[in-house]
Chains A and B, each alone.
Chain A
């Protein structure tokens, strides 16, 4: 099949962004282009039209390629639950939680099959693939269980461009070293080199380019200067730029297991809005609004919030008329009580925790996770003008109103494919 794969000399050399750019370039040339990355490790996912989860980067790349993202573009997504365990999302659905060791020994064959299926589906639907590797292709201790780099290039049978980053130095050693550690037939697949994150005058690097080409026999296809202030979000980072001081100041509570922080992304485009991460009480200040985002471990992060006494800061802020939006895990924290009867959130059966008590609701965690796309309208009783909204839900908890409170109204009417929902979103005007 037609296509190109970008592999890196290390993580974070800029493969994702370069792949995103090439998705647009190939699309501009009229090729029906799909992005592909066999396996991602990230808590920041993208939800496809049919409500499945894939890595954020492939979702973005599909947008750049002007196509709809599907699970075949990233069949395996590892979401770290803690330092040892990861949840494996296979074809967009939660599959199993593994420790790193178990994952390598027992998942490999299944992973390979998933990649094979995905490549053949993409091949039947697209002209060209832009594939991204992960980390370095020559981690010698892990190479026999490779599911992300040369193995994928061989399965798709496409050439590889090696991307390296000059920012931290060692560019020559990392190129020559990476090529030297590849087997001869793998090395033959590397047809070009891109040097990324260059600062200064590229002309001064000409002798460096010549040295690399003579030494390795591989052509340097370009030197890319450091790209400042791009708003296209990468795999796992969201760069927040400083903006005008006289606009709106929105504080986003930074939780240890924060997930889906793309919820904040639209504000980056608003010139008069500054997004400020708040981790500690001293950073709270006097924001114009506070957003509590989603988290992978609600109760754990709620306890961290309490340890840092940010809970008191938030409660006091609301009582003085402040605007707070809790999304998903952040919403669950606003509850009076959180119940974890099956240990789905904490790993401890029957665990209970007091919430911030800002909404008259209780949250109960269940084992099965729900991911669903939805469309609806803001509820007329919410105090806000009617407006169409869409988005998606992805959580294990159910939140219910436990008593009447005239101040607490429904936030929206939501409709999903399965049922008409009176989405339990709540607002105190």
Chain B
């Protein structure tokens, strides 16, 4: 049992994997290698951007954002 003031404790990929593998062992599940969520998140931002590019006239938005009109 753990009590801690540290927010984002489980954002530490190595520690999260240690803790989850401890639970996995206890349940007889196979252990896993660490998952690097920063890289995963970055992929998601890319996917979101692609999604917006597909359905929104991004050129028009860029033009609005970068060209000053009166």
Contact A374 B6 (CB under 8 A): yes
Residues of A in contact, count (CB < 8 Å): 88
> Which interface class (under 10, 10 to 19, 20 to 34, 35 or more) fits B?
35 or more
Contact A248 B19 (CB under 8 A): no
Contact B5 A331 (CB under 8 A): yes
Contact B2 A391 (CB under 8 A): no
A412 contacts partner chain B, Cβ-Cβ < 8 Å: yes
Residue of chain A at shortest CB distance from B13: A266
Contact A21 B1 (CB under 8 A): no
Contact A24 B3 (CB under 8 A): no
Contact A427 B55 (CB under 8 A): no
Q: Which residues of chain B are near A399, meaning CB under 8 Å?
A: 3, 5
Contact A323 B3 (CB under 8 A): no
Contact B69 A390 (CB under 8 A): no
* Residue from the list B45, B60, B62 in contact with A24, Cβ < 8 A: B45
Contact A331 B3 (CB under 8 A): yes
Q: Which residues of chain B are near A269, meaning CB under 8 Å?
A: 35, 37, 40
Contact A359 B3 (CB under 8 A): yes
CA distance in complex: A194, B64 (Å): 14
Contact A391 B8 (CB under 8 A): yes
Contact A318 B3 (CB under 8 A): no
Contact B46 A260 (CB under 8 A): no
A255 contacts partner chain B, Cβ-Cβ < 8 Å: no
Contact B48 A288 (CB under 8 A): no
Contact A222 B55 (CB under 8 A): yes
Residues of A140-169 contacting chain B, CB below 8 A: 158-159, 161
Q: 0/1 per residue, B55-70, Cβ < 8 Å to A?
A: 1111011101110110
Instruction: Known A63-B45, A411-B2, A423-B5; judge A194-B56 contact (CB<8 A).
Output: yes
Instruction: Known A192-B61, A266-B37, A384-B19; judge A28-B4 contact (CB<8 A).
Output: no
Contact B24 A390 (CB under 8 A): no
Contact B8 A392 (CB under 8 A): yes
Instruction: Known A248-B27, A272-B29; judge A232-B3 contact (CB<8 A).
Output: no
Contact A225 B55 (CB under 8 A): yes
Contact B45 A20 (CB under 8 A): yes
Q: 0/1 per residue, B1-37, Cβ < 8 Å to A?
A: 1111111111111111011101110110100100101
Residue of chain A at shortest CB distance from B6: A391
* Residue from the list B7, B10, B44, B66 in contact with A128, Cβ < 8 A: B66
Q: Which residues of chain A are near B13, meaning CB under 8 Å?
A: 266
CA distance in complex: A384, B1 (Å): 12
Contact A221 B14 (CB under 8 A): no
A212 contacts partner chain B, Cβ-Cβ < 8 Å: no
Contact B2 A262 (CB under 8 A): no
Instruction: Known A2-B66, A374-B6, A423-B6; judge A325-B22 contact (CB<8 A).
Output: no
Q: Which residues of chain A are near B65, meaning CB under 8 Å?
A: 2-4, 26, 128, 158-159
Residues of A231-276 contacting chain B, CB below 8 A: 231-232, 246-248, 260, 262-267, 269-270, 272-273
Residues of B within 8 A of A (CB): 1-16, 18-20, 22-24, 26-27, 29, 32, 35, 37, 40-41, 44-46, 48-49, 51-53, 55-58, 60-62, 64-66, 68-69
Closest 9 CB pairs of A and B: A222-B56, A331-B3, A391-B6, A425-B4, A391-B8, A4-B65, A24-B49, A21-B52, A64-B45
9 contacts between A and B (CB under 8 A): A2-B66, A26-B62, A222-B56, A248-B27, A265-B11, A266-B16, A269-B40, A288-B27, A331-B3
Residues of A within 8 A of B (CB): 2-4, 17-18, 20-22, 24-26, 28-29, 31, 47, 63-64, 128, 158-159, 161, 191-192, 194, 202, 219, 221-225, 227, 230-232, 246-248, 260, 262-267, 269-270, 272-273, 288-289, 294, 318, 323-328, 330-331, 334, 358-359, 361, 374, 378, 384-385, 387-395, 399, 411-412, 414, 423-428
With A20-B45, A327-B9, A399-B3 already in contact, 13 other A-B pairs whose C-beta atoms are closer than 8 Å: A4-B61, A28-B49, A47-B7, A222-B52, A224-B56, A266-B37, A272-B29, A294-B7, A323-B22, A327-B4, A378-B18, A389-B9, A391-B8
